[in-house]
Amino acid sequence: MSQMNYQQQSLTGATGLELVVALYDAAIGGLYRAIQCVEEDDTIGRRIAVKKVVDILMYLQARLRPDVGGAAAASLADFYAAMFTLTLEASHLASKEQFTEVIGCIRNVRDAWAIAAKDPAAGKVLPRELRTREETFVAARTDAAGEVVGASRWSA
Q: What is the pLDDT of residue 132?
A: 58
Residue range 85-102: mean pLDDT, rounded:
98
Report the alpha-carbon distance of residue 97 to residue 90 in Å, rounded.
8
Which residue ranges make up each domain of the chain?
14-137
Q: What is the pLDDT of residue 143?
A: 53
Q: Are 14 and 114 in contact (CB under 8 A)?
A: no
Report the alpha-carbon distance of residue 69 to residue 116 in Å, rounded.
15
Residue range 127-149: mean pLDDT, rounded:
55
Residue range 118-128: mean pLDDT, rounded:
68
Report the alpha-carbon distance of residue 25 to residue 117 in Å, rounded.
14
| pLDDT band (50, 70, 90) for residue 18 | confident
Q: Are 64 and 126 in contact (CB under 8 A)?
A: no
Q: What is the pLDDT of residue 27?
A: 98
For the domain 14-137, what is the CATH superfamily, name and number?
A: Flagellar protein FliS (1.20.120.340)
Q: Is the pLDDT of residue 152 over 60?
A: no
Q: How many residues does the chain have?
A: 156
Q: Is the pLDDT of residue 120 over 90?
A: no
Q: What is the pLDDT of residue 153?
A: 46
Q: For 61-80, write each residue's pLDDT tens digit.
A: 999 988 888 898 999 999 99
Query: Between these two residues, 80 and 148, which has the higher pLDDT value?
Result: 80
What pTM does this model have?
Answer: 0.75
- With a pLDDT cut of 90, the percent of the chain lying above it is 54
Q: What is the pLDDT of residue 151?
A: 46
